[in-house]
Amino acid sequence: MEGKPVCSHCSGQAVYLDRESGTHLCSRHLKESVESRVLSRLMQEEPLPEIIGVAFSGGKDSTALLAALVVLKEKIPSRLIALTVDEGIGGYREETIRHAKDVCSRLNVEHRIITFPDLFGLSLDDFMKSSSRKACTICGILRRRALEVLAQQEGVRLLATGHNQDDHAQTTLMNAFSADIKKVFAGSGRTSQFARRIKPFASVSEREVTLYAILSDLFMDLPECPYAGDALRGEVRRLLNRFEQEHPGSMRNLAHAEEEIRSRLKNKVKLQPLENCKVCGWPGSGEICQVCTVLKEQKEYKNNSSTGQD
């Protein structure tokens, strides 16, 4: 009978197999491999700013990212600060916020929380009572702004998000399906004049990220958002997972191909300059920003419902 697989770098018991290269890794070498990829991403941003903000939802990706950055503390001169947005989603956010607070206190990282009611006067649950838009659309628009406000308040110039390689590959395929070239090029780095965004897990697979959180003893099985259910992303995710199973390395190649195209065309594609919103003054694309559009629609919907119109 075959014994348990052993790490390709030491005699430790393997916990992970990179199916593309056939490399087995023990917990120490898996963690080191993830950390070295995170570090090399960060080094592309040199000189690093005084503060690095981490968009910290409390989910497994941002928890693993925060843990990796804490391990790398001695190699990174910046101070870390975790930034959490509480959208106000009953039966889901309370538990994830509790977990987020617990992780920050265990890792000894400063933590700031901003809520939708603080900023927009309503929770996401309230918005959903008076809106015809999908929850994830409203949530995405408002959460992005909330994070930017928090980053600005805290003097954060570099904002790290927990997006992993699988997310990256899924987004690439979804953008290709929608043929929305602007989305491809308007991705990281352009959305705010305050904080540049980076994705330190861009070359780390979801499986590795999950294992990293588990091996750091910070994984928690949290409830799923009741509004979750982006049908297209779910389908693309299933499709890519099946493809990866049959052709290991596909996800990595797709994510790399997109980065390569983006970097080669970076200076050749002219993006529209940001304009200041006529209502709130925040930089965005178009005369009225998406946040002000959502807030205006919500008020109109409410007024129409109270006067009995459609």
Query: Is there binding between residue 289 and Zn ion (CB under 5 A)?
Result: yes
Q: Which is nearer to ligand SF4, 65 or 225 (by Cβ)?
A: 225
For tokens 């007024």, the residue is 303
- Distance between CA 85 and CA 93 in Å, rounded? 10
Q: Which is nearer to Zn ion, 7 or 277 (by Cβ)?
A: 277
**Cβ of residue 138: shortest distance to ligand SF4, in angstroms?**
8
- Distance between CA 143 and CA 84 in Å, rounded? 10
- Distance between CA 141 and CA 153 in Å, rounded? 19
Query: Is there binding between residue 265 and Zn ion (CB under 5 A)?
Result: no
Only one of the segments 83-91, 110-118, 189-197, 277-285 lies at the binding site for Zn ion (rule: CB under 5 A); that segment is 277-285
**Cβ of residue 120: shortest distance to ligand SF4, in angstroms?**
14
Residue 64 interacts, among Zn ion, ligand SF4, none and using kind-specific CB cut-offs from 5 to 8 Å, with: none
Residue 225 interacts, among ligand SF4, Zn ion, none and using kind-specific CB cut-offs from 5 to 8 Å, with: ligand SF4
Q: Which residues face 113 on adjacent strands? A: 84
Q: How many residues does the chain have?
A: 310
Residues contributing to the site for ligand SF4 (CB under 6 A): 87, 135-136, 139-140, 225, 227-228
Q: Which residues face 283 on adjacent strands? A: 276
Query: Is there binding between residue 277 and Zn ion (CB under 5 A)?
Result: yes
Residue 135 interacts, among Zn ion, ligand SF4, none and using kind-specific CB cut-offs from 5 to 8 Å, with: ligand SF4
Q: Which is nearer to ligand SF4, 28 or 133 (by Cβ)?
A: 133
Q: Which is nearer to ligand SF4, 219 or 227 (by Cβ)?
A: 227
Question: Contact positions toward Zn ion, by CB under 5 A?
Answer: 277, 279-280, 289, 292
